[in-house]
Amino acid sequence: MTIDHLGAILFTDDTVFRIIGRTSFPIFSYLIVLGVESTRNVKNYLFRLLLFALISQIPFHLALGHEPFEYLNIFFTLSFGVLFLIDELMILVPVCLSFFIYFDYGLYGIAMIYCMKVIKENTKEGIVLFVLLSAFSMLISPIQAFSLFALPFLLLHKHGFLKIEREAYRNEVYPAWRKYIFYVYYPLHLTAIYLAKLWFF
């Protein structure tokens, strides 16, 4: 994600940054599916995503040069994805919203989250869907096909190779900083890139 944003904001002539960055959204989508499955309170999970969506909007707007609310950041997309995972009828929320305002990755982003849900439940069907979605995305942005590079990481995790064993620590209190560091990182890294753009570019 950081490499992708460096390419989008600072090194706009170098497509290698954007190619590498294509792997990030499928991984985020997969983590959203895992998050909905594992959270004790899905409403609180959704609230956190929406809270950081609002917090991140100003750094997002400054770093990428959009008007404050003409283009919503990826936390909004992930929030809409959670709504969809809770109740498939809630797909109407991002569909209706897409007529009035653009959110990062748009309806393609919701489709990607659904694709990750299928991969989690049925690997073969999920892979086929992922390939078809990537092929379709090439009609809009050819570079988006490189999102398929995320597939090995997803499959490694699904089959247990990237999972962290927590069985021995299940009675310990989960540190708050570990829960929130990934939320906080998004607006902080956008702010840092924006400041670098002001000072050095």
Q: What is the pLDDT of residues 56-68, one digit of tens each?
A: 999 999 999 888 7
Q: Is the pLDDT of residue 53 over 50?
A: yes
3-state secondary structure of 201: coil
What is the reported pLDDT for 201?
A: 84
Q: Is the pLDDT of residue 10 over 70?
A: yes
Q: Which residues contact 176 (CB under 8 A, 6 or more apart)?
A: none
Q: Is the pLDDT of residue 30 over 90?
A: yes
Q: Do 149 and 23 meet the contact criterion of CB atoms below 8 Å apart? A: yes
Residue-wise pLDDT tens digits, 168-199: 445 555 566 677 888 999 999 999 999 999 99
What is the reported pLDDT for 180?
A: 83
Which domain does 153 fall in, by range? Answer: 2-200
pTM of the model: 0.91
The chain-wide mean pLDDT, for the chain, equals: 90
What gap in Å lies between CA 159 and CA 55, rounded to an integer? 35
The domain tally of the chain equals 1
Residues paired with residue 71 on neighbouring β-strands, in sequence order: 102
What gap in Å lies between CA 98 and CA 107, rounded to an integer? 8
Residue-wise pLDDT tens digits, 83-118: 999 999 999 999 999 888 999 999 999 999 999 999
> Mean of the pLDDT values across residues 141-162?
90
What is the reported pLDDT for 89?
A: 92
What is the reported pLDDT for 176?
A: 66
What is the reported pLDDT for 168?
A: 44
